[in-house]
A and B are shown apart, each in its own frame.
Chain A
Amino acid sequence: MQSIQSMKKYLFLFIAMLSLPASGLALNVGEKAPDFTLMDLDDHSQTLSSQQGKFVVLEWFNYDCPFVKKHYGSGNMQALQKKWTDQGVVWWSINSSASGKQGNYSPEDMKKLAEERKTASSAIVLDPDGIVGKSYEAKTTPHLYVINPEGQLIYQGAIDDQPSSEPETIQGAKNYADQALEQATQSQPVTDSSTKSYGCSIKY
């Protein structure tokens, strides 16, 4: 009798699982941002859900990618990181390069590289298994995501509207990530909430 009850319970669970939408993996703006825990360079674990109540920026990077160099070499990325972390936004720079692939460094080496660049993010977190990158469908470096205090994704895509590795294109570019943060922090709807990211492929 009891076994039949538990069988029914499993069957219910089984049906509940399968009735999830077929496209359940696609991540859309407006949906809940997938939770994760990753280690930062000081060996502290960082968990997205523990940042509820704050805006969070996720920035995929690979210091050896020319498109990332464009934004770090010019100081553009660091300026944006400083501007928003100064206002209480949590900014995590995420590296999903797999071991042995371009842009993958040990935490110690990554720390040196970040210091050389005066990276101003709240933390640099490492995702060498690519699990978090894949759950966000992060495709390129750079690729930026903005999450609101309720934990919903409100922006995903390119840093700006200039898909080029030339630093000269930064001047006058429309910075989508900055725009999303400006609008969302003033309780306005984000106008360009999903854009096509540009850059090198993430080295999963």
Chain B
Amino acid sequence: MNIDDDLSAWAAVTRLSPAEAEAIFQQVITPAPQLNARWWRDFSAGLAATMVASTRQQRWAA
């Protein structure tokens, strides 16, 4: 076996199969699921309120 045959045999098992490549393609073009907008709005509002409240407590304590 010459080195070109060796490299070809190695490359054949290293390359992605057409099925693997197509699966990756589909994953790339499929949009990732988005966070629910209402959940995100409520979470942000709650976080902001908690931060404001904690800041007020620190001022009062000082």
Q: Do A and B come from one complex?
A: no
Interface residues, chain B, with chain A CB atoms under 8 Å away: none
Interface residues, chain A, with chain B CB atoms under 8 Å away: none
